[in-house]
Structure formats: C-alpha cells, structure tokens
Amino acid sequence: MPPTPETRSMVLLAAQICEDKKGTDTRILELDPVDAGFTDFFLITSGSNTRQTGAIADEVELRIKRDFGVYAKSVEGRRTGEWILLDYIDFVVHIFTEQTREFYDIERLRKSARPVATHELAAELNRKTEAARKKAPAKPAAAGQLGREDADRTDLAGMEGGALAAPAGSRAKKAASKKAPAKKIAAKKAATKVSAKKAPAKKAVKTAASKKAGSASAGSKPARVAAAAPKPDRKGVATEKAPSPRARPGSRTAKRVAAGPES
C-alpha cells in the first residue's frame, strides 16, 4: 500500500523541524515495500550532543501531536540521548549523536532504500493532493448545496409564520397585563375599606372600657374615705385611737386601758 498524503506531510514536517533545530545531515529514506514492510520512511538526522538530540525529539513529538493529533507509538533511547527512535508506524525518526551515527551507519544497512529530497517529497505530495481533488465527485457537493437551500427556505418560512403569529400572542399578553393591575388595585381598595370600618369599632370599645374604669375608680374613692373616717363615740364626738405599744400585764398602761376613758 503506498504512503498516504498525511504520512508524507508528517515526514516533511519532521524534516523541517530537524533543520530548524540545527540537526546535521538530515536524510529521508523511502523504504522498499518488499524489503521492509513494517514502515514507509526513515528520517535520519544528527545532533552534536545529547541535549540537542533530546530537544529535536521533543519538538518533533510536540509539533506532530499539535498539527496532526498523532502520537508516537513507541519512543526509545530518550534517557541516554545517543540514539532516540520515534516510531509513528508509517515512518520512523532516528536522531543520533554524530559518533553513534557513524558507528551504526544505518544508511548502509538499508541499501534498497531510495533517498528522497525534501523538495521532491513536497512536489510529490502536491501532485497526490491535486489528483485526489480531481477524483472527488462534484454531485454530493451539489446535493449538499441544494439541501442547504431547502433548509434556508424552510427557516425563512418558519420565521415568517412566527412573525405573523407573534402579534396575536403579544396582544393577548398585553391584555392580560392590563387586567392584572386593575384586579390588584380593586383588591387593595377593598382591604383599605375593611380596615377603615374596623378601626372606629376598636376605638368605641376602648372608650367604653375607659369610661367603666373611670366610674369604678370614682365609686371606690368615697368608700375608702368613709372607711378612713374616725368613728364617733357615745357622746357623738369622733375620737381617734392612736396605736399604742403593746402593754405588759400589770403595768400602768394596762391599768389605764382597762379603766377606760375618764368621764
């Protein structure tokens, strides 16, 4: 199965990232399907040290994930950084240090692979994209356009119907809103009348109670005065007995009290 345009686009993006991160001797190898059926492309680049190889690998992963939503299925060698491998199934990215790349010489191991320049890969990608656009049928697009026009017409009809029905509904709402305040005003007036009627009755009850209390108090005063008046003796002279201290038996005071008043 030939590589898809998306795979070619991802390989081009990864190669551009290697160039931006100052990777050296960046190469793209298109593998023979018979010799290596597990992937379509090898992307090989070199860094001067392990920090540079790690930075290239991080940027490749980030950009492919952000632009295509694709994650590497396997990542190897990140801890040491001498040979970092990013496996995207359809293509594999090899990031070496210069000494490690010279030692393994991976290009020699894949003699059947065809080197592909970035501009050649880009031109082939454009050609594939144009061919796919020409093969795409135009009828579904026309049908979709007709469907959109029909939907627009139905929407317009619905809007017109709603506009016609809106005045009747608004009139009914306005009439209901007018009736509601009138009912509220009538209820308030009735409540005020009832409260005004009840108020004089309460005042009359209060005045009657106050009158009764006054008469009761007026009647009780003469009784108290009469009770407090001194009693007349036999000769008709009112005498008041002053409270005397308690007399002991046999004392002069006791004898005077027993003898009674002098005639």
Q: What is the CATH number of the domain that holds 92?
A: 3.30.460.10
Dihedral angle sign, alpha carbons of residues 47, 50, 51, 53: positive
Q: Which residue has the higher pLDDT, 80 or 174?
A: 80
Contact 10, 68 (CB under 8 A): yes
Position 122 in a domain: yes
Q: Is the pLDDT of residue 234 over 70?
A: no
- Looking at mean pLDDT, say which of 11-20, 28-37, 112-121, 124-133 comes out highest: 11-20
Over residues 197-204, mean pLDDT: 52
Position 117 in a domain: yes
Over residues 144-164, mean pLDDT: 56
The H or E element containing residue 129 is helix 118-135
Position 199 in a domain: no
Over residues 187-197, mean pLDDT: 62
pLDDT at residue 165, as a whole number: 47
Share of the chain above pLDDT 70, in %: 51
Give all strands of the β-sheet with 91-97 in edge-to-edge order: 74-76, 83-87, 91-97, 41-47, 24-30, 114-116
Position 40 in a domain: yes
Position 178 in a domain: no
pLDDT at residue 227, as a whole number: 46
Helix count (H) and strand count (E) of the chain? 7, 6
- Mean pLDDT of all residues belonging to the chain: 73
Position 138 in a domain: no
Contact 84, 78 (CB under 8 A): yes
pLDDT at residue 259, as a whole number: 61
pLDDT at residue 75, as a whole number: 96
Give the model's confidence band at 16: pLDDT under 50 very low, under 70 low, under 90 confident, else very high: very high
Position 81 in a domain: yes
- Looking at mean pLDDT, say which of 30-39, 82-91, 172-181, 235-244 comes out highest: 82-91
Q: Residue 75: count other Cβ atoms within 10 Å of its Cβ.
A: 14
Over residues 30-53, mean pLDDT: 89
Contact 74, 85 (CB under 8 A): yes
Q: Which residue has the higher pLDDT, 62 or 1?
A: 62
Q: Label the pairing between strands 24-30 and 114-116.
A: antiparallel
Domain interval for residue 92: 5-133
Give the chain's domain count: 1
Pick the closest to residue 27 from 113, 99, 88 (CA basis). 113
Return the minimum-mean-pLDDT range out of 8-12, 114-118, 174-178, 219-223.
219-223
Q: Is the pLDDT of residue 92 over 90?
A: yes
pLDDT at residue 172, as a whole number: 54
Position 13 in a domain: yes
